[in-house]
Chains A and B, each alone.
Chain A
């Protein structure tokens, strides 16, 4: 049993190690702490899901990993150690703006699929142009080669009639098709880590299933690591190997899917599981997180503690004792 410290060296089976990450937003009404002491691991070659309510800090975490936090937001503490395949591990947050590794990090080593496919593509450039651009940013190849590679990737995400489709503009694509384009754009440089920030939230249910299948299938083919942000626990059960539960800008519990979904230990995680509609007994009022947890239990922050089974949890010493942990 140990506390997670930012001095921890990155473990060889982790591609990403976030330690004590803190992000603040300075607004006219004062500082808002968006993230506080966020620590978790992303194991190499596996799918890690971050779950939590709106405003729990999931997306801010993803932005911080890509160094996409813009003023008035600011990273105030912590480290994000990243170990791309074939190069030395480094702390993402320590990179200066001009470091070539930062350029490589964005799009080449780590890439991102965004929540809103309707606005994630620029309206005035063709789909082919935008996908090929991702290659041209990172590889010394001709436009022709980039275009061919883009066509190849677009075909893999299930877009047909490429001759015509690549010359079309995003507004000529449906929402599901656009999300396929965004996924192709993210995967075309074969990144080590793919971050999906609620990639299915803006899509209707049948398309959601298609996109999830696609992400899983491509992960199998490209063997990359995935950080999947969602508030849909059903999706987590289908897709993820590991789960990080966030609330109020903190990590409350992290572990394997089996540990967190089957035997949640933190009261908040228990509340979340009890509030899944499909699992609740029929004919009864559905539980809310607050009704299970009670507001007081989750307002106090405790440092994350790693248990003997690898699970990380934020509980008071007395609560831990109750579970039989010293």
Chain B
């Protein structure tokens, strides 16, 4: 088990290096750079800068150096904990990320828990009662949920929240708590706002999770080992949980890693609609404005989170399934 963990940890390093290069290149791909849009703005206002001034401006941001050098200085700073400066927000990236990534993680993880809390019981029910009325009803509801884009759902929830309850449900805090220091009341206010992004982000994954669990469980339900256990006299509910469900759940553990990126990108769109102070909206703005340090840092952090998520799911799977542990 220890060598397995060590192997997986070492394997993550080249992956991270490779992805950091791709991230850097992708950020550079669109024409123009961080000074382009301010220059355009100045030109439209009639201010003409000499080419020498432009050169100086670019040199100030290290933009005159060749790409590999730019990459190296970015990545070394990143590794030592300095993520650079955001020209867009005029603040260090570390500050911006620090105040946002916690909310992103919180929303993503609670959405994940929501997805499972709904999808697993529903999946078990529709597998055990295959082709029953309940099976069809659940499947229909889930597919509607799958087909509804999350931003649309967010808009609908906002509309009804305002129409019926008279509350504005954008953001993660009510106005009076937005800048208040943390207290019990503020935490309560936060939780009362959290459920909306949780449901909106989580609902998209619920249908597929339920259908996958249903299919997995149907595969397992009539396996010989289940019949052996039934012939042994194991009580029905214990039989279901201990044998087929226990094994049908394994593939889920391995999808934690895949789910995280989906949830994070789903979260970005929902956050823009709901006006949440998470990484998503800031990432989008940074990308539009070619704020390379901010965008790069967000992308890298999300990548690291995803890889860590994969790692955790691999380790959980090895813990849960002896066949993987012993390979």
Contact = CB atoms under 8 A, between A and B. Distances in A.
Given A169-B322, A169-B323, A133 B225 contact: no
Contact of B323 (A68, A121, A123, A185): A123
B323 A171 contact: yes
Interface stretch (A25-33, A40-48, A107-115): A107-115
B224 A137 contact: no
A119 B223 contact: yes
22 contacts: A68-B230, A68-B231, A106-B230, A108-B233, A111-B232, A114-B227, A114-B231, A122-B228, A122-B229, A122-B243, A124-B320, A125-B242, A133-B229, A133-B232, A133-B234, A137-B235, A169-B326, A171-B322, A171-B323, A172-B326, A182-B228, A185-B228
A296 B173 CA distance: 84
Interface in B274-327: 320-323, 326
Interface residues of A, number: 29
Contacts of B158: none
Contacts of B235: 103, 137
Interface string A231-244: 00000000000000
Given A124-B322, A171-B323, A134 B233 contact: yes
B247 interface: yes
B233 A104 contact: yes
Given A68-B227, A70-B222, A171-B323, A122 B233 contact: no
Contacts of A114: 224, 227-228, 231
Contact of B233 (A125, A138, A171, A182): A138
Contacts of B230: 68, 106
A94 to B, nearest CB: 19
A116 interface: yes
Interface in A52-80: 66, 68, 70
A66 B321 contact: no
Contacts of B323: 123-124, 169, 171
Contact of B225 (A108, A122, A134): A122
Nearest to B130: A71
A123 B233 contact: no
- Determine the main DSSP class of A at the interface with B: mixed
Given A169-B323, A171-B323, A137 B234 contact: yes
A103 B225 contact: no
Contacts of B322: 123-124, 169, 171
Interface string B224-257: 1101111111110000001100110000000000
A96 to B, nearest CB: 13
- Determine the main DSSP class of B at the interface with A: helix
Nearest to B246: A124
B247 A122 contact: yes
A290 interface: no
B246 A137 contact: no
A66 to B, nearest CB: 5
Q: Which 7 A-B pairs have the closest CB atoms?
A: A107-B233, A106-B233, A119-B224, A122-B225, A107-B232, A137-B233, A112-B231
A133 B231 CA distance: 12
Contacts of B320: 124
A121 B326 contact: no
A83 to B, nearest CB: 19
A120 interface: yes
Nearest to B236: A97
Interface string A125-137: 1000000011001
Given A104-B233, A106-B230, A124 B247 contact: yes
A107 B235 CA distance: 11
B218 to A, nearest CB: 13
A108 B231 CA distance: 9
A182 B242 CA distance: 18
Given A122-B247, A169-B326, A103 B228 contact: no
A111 to B, nearest CB: 7
A112 B229 CA distance: 10
Contacts of B232: 106-107, 111, 133-134, 137, 185
Nearest to A98: B236
B323 to A, nearest CB: 6
Contacts of A134: 232-233
Contacts of B222: 70
B248 to A, nearest CB: 11
Given A70-B222, A104-B233, A112-B228, 12 more contacts: A68-B231, A107-B234, A122-B225, A122-B247, A124-B247, A124-B320, A133-B229, A133-B234, A171-B323, A171-B326, A185-B228, A185-B232
Contacts of B246: 124
Contacts of B326: 169, 171-172
B45 to A, nearest CB: 69
Contacts of A107: 231-234
A5 B232 CA distance: 31
Contacts of A138: 233
Contacts of A182: 228
A189 to B, nearest CB: 8
A120 B234 contact: no
Contact of A120 (B228, B233, B321): B228
Most buried by B among A124, A182, A185: A124
Nearest to B222: A70
Contacts of B242: 125
Nearest to B226: A122
Nearest to B243: A122
A321 B232 CA distance: 47
A66 B232 CA distance: 10
Interface in A124-177: 124-125, 133-134, 137-138, 169, 171-172
